[in-house]
Amino acid sequence: MSFSGRTSTFSSVIAVFCITVYIAAIAIGSIQIIVNIGERRNLAESEFSDLVDRASSAAVILGFMSEAYQDSLKDLIGTSATLMGVIITGSGGEFAFERFPGSGIVWVGTSPRFRSGFGFPSEPLFLPLRVEGQRNVTIQAVYSRFDTGHFLGTLRNTLLAVLAALGISFIALLIELLRKNRVSYQTAAAGRYSGADTSCGADTSRETDTRCAADNSYEVDDSLFSIDEDDEDFYGEKPKGLFSPRGNIGWESYTHDRLASELHRCASVEQDLGFLVMEFPDKLNDSQYRQFCEEAVSFFALRDLVFEKGEKGISVIIPNMELEQCMAKSRLFRNRIIDKLPVSFPNKTGLCIGISSRSGRLIEAERLTLEAASALEKAFLDPDTSIVAFKSDPEKYREYIRENL
């Protein structure tokens, strides 16, 4: 399994775990609140029944609705865990008692009414009150469905579980980012590893055997495409502006930085990238070189991705294009040069092209230019092949990455 596969599995496991924690925390919290509501109703019914018995007894001892009787009812409500308000109705009118002002009773004119809405049941508890000498006396009570302490504690525990899952997600994200940084470093090292096995593709437009730009018997010379950004350009000029005066394309010394930038961009959006280097066998004068460069700009349609390469060549960066597409495009361009440039253009049939591509790898600009340059050298060494592509072996490349993680 590649790194991306392991990362995907790791992320998926963490995501499933966190979602499970979220659902479990919410479900457990909801069940606890529902159970508590049922328990409080049972407790309220028990407390209300006890209140009715005591109110009936107190009426005999203290006198119904005497000041002492009313004080005893207030004390009973104040010690209750659930009851918030009581209304006693009889021939003498309605009498209201509550735990504290506004806790369970609202007044409509001179008539008391129970509070309703969130936290209060729609139907109050109701029983007849047995009072000697009184007829049709009833007592009603409203209670609070929610135990505030239990409710807030449940919400706190649910929130703590969710925050814990978010913390795990954040730690997992940090681990994944650290792993990606590590594999980027390892891959950059792999880009400089010249012993990796490769296979290649070559131009098949001629009826000749295809050749390999860098097989096991072919040593790649690292000096083929070395770049020192502090050096002057090929002609001893310091680059001024974006384009060179000779070819009206990018300066040769700009190639490395732009290639590195495009590689990074293409890797971030998982696009491929092709890199072409091409040369004529003989030096071109300024006029011929200018015509050649203009044809390249017209064909590839990106002047800022075409760069000078010595006195007789150019290099081209082609974003979002696979190796096979680059080879096909190279053949079309070479045929265009042969057909379109003036007859006086020397050795236009000798144009050779070397190709390399990112091919899904996290590779450095130095390595890609080295591969393209070695392919170009092989194209010049073989007179029957004008286009050679350096094609990496993805399986061996991934195996090398795995071994070095």
Alpha-carbon distance 75 to 98, whole Å?
A: 10
Digit-coded pLDDT (tens) for 187-221: 444 443 333 333 344 443 433 333 343 333 333 44
Q: Which residues contact 27 (CB under 8 A, 6 or more apart)?
A: none
- CA within 13 Å, CB half, 181: 6
- Per-residue pLDDT 10s for the chain (405 aa) are 444 444 557 778 888 888 888 899 899 989 998 998 888 889 988 988 988 888 888 888 888 888 888 888 888 888 888 898 899 988 778 888 988 888 888 888 888 888 887 778 878 888 888 887 777 889 999 988 888 888 889 889 999 988 988 888 888 888 877 876 665 544 444 443 333 333 344 443 433 333 343 333 333 444 443 444 444 555 456 677 789 888 899 999 999 999 999 999 999 888 999 999 999 988 888 888 999 999 999 999 888 999 999 888 999 999 999 999 999 999 999 999 988 888 777 778 889 999 999 888 888 899 899 999 999 999 998 878 899 998 777 676 667 566 665
Phi, psi dihedral angles at 361 (to 5 degrees): -90, 155
Q: How far is CA 16 from the centre of its chain?
A: 15
pTM reported for the whole predicted model: 0.44
On the 0-12 / 13-18 / 19+ scale of CB atoms within 10 A, 42 is exposed
Alpha-carbon distance 272 to 324, whole Å?
A: 11
Digit-coded pLDDT (tens) for 29-78: 899 989 988 888 899 889 889 888 888 888 888 888 888 888 888 888 88
